[in-house]
Amino acid sequence: MHEMAIAHSILDLVEHEAARQHATRVRTLELEIGQLANVEVGALRFALDVVLRDTIAHGARLEIAEPPGQAVCLRCGDDVALARRGEPCPACGSYQLAVTGGDTLRVAGMIVD
């Protein structure tokens, strides 16, 4: 489960930024996890619940946005939405798609005291 490793990386980033801001508590943690990021959101929620326990972010509200996958078809040039990798272009059926969005995971923000 690579989500546990991701949770530890998120904690490292959150602790570093909280220290930089002289924060004593993280109230809200805002994440953006694209639908093509190869992250199981439920598993990451569980991992964060475990990893954030007894830290500056213990009990923080977790807000997760899940932007859809986007791609451009290299055959017909259409911009298309993708729910998962490996789908064909809905316009021409080609599998020659270049992902243009919805494939990243990032800490979008946090609210601290």
Per residue in 25-58, pLDDT (tens digit) is 999 999 999 999 999 999 999 999 999 999 999 9
For the chain, list the domains and their CATH numbers. 2-112 (3.30.2320.80)
Reduced 3-state DSSP string for the chain: CHHHHHHHHHHHHHHHHHHHCCCCCEEEEEEEECCCCCCCHHHHHHHHHHHCCCCCCCCCEEEEECCCEEEEECCCCCEEEECCCCCCCCCCCCCCEEEEECCCEEEEEEEEC
Q: What is the pTM of this model?
A: 0.87
Per residue in 56-91, pLDDT (tens digit) is 999 999 999 999 999 999 999 999 999 889 999 999
Instruction: Give 10's pLDDT tier (boundaries 50, 70, 90).
Output: very high
Asked if residue 11 lies in contact with residue 55, where contact means CB atoms within 8 angstroms, the answer is yes
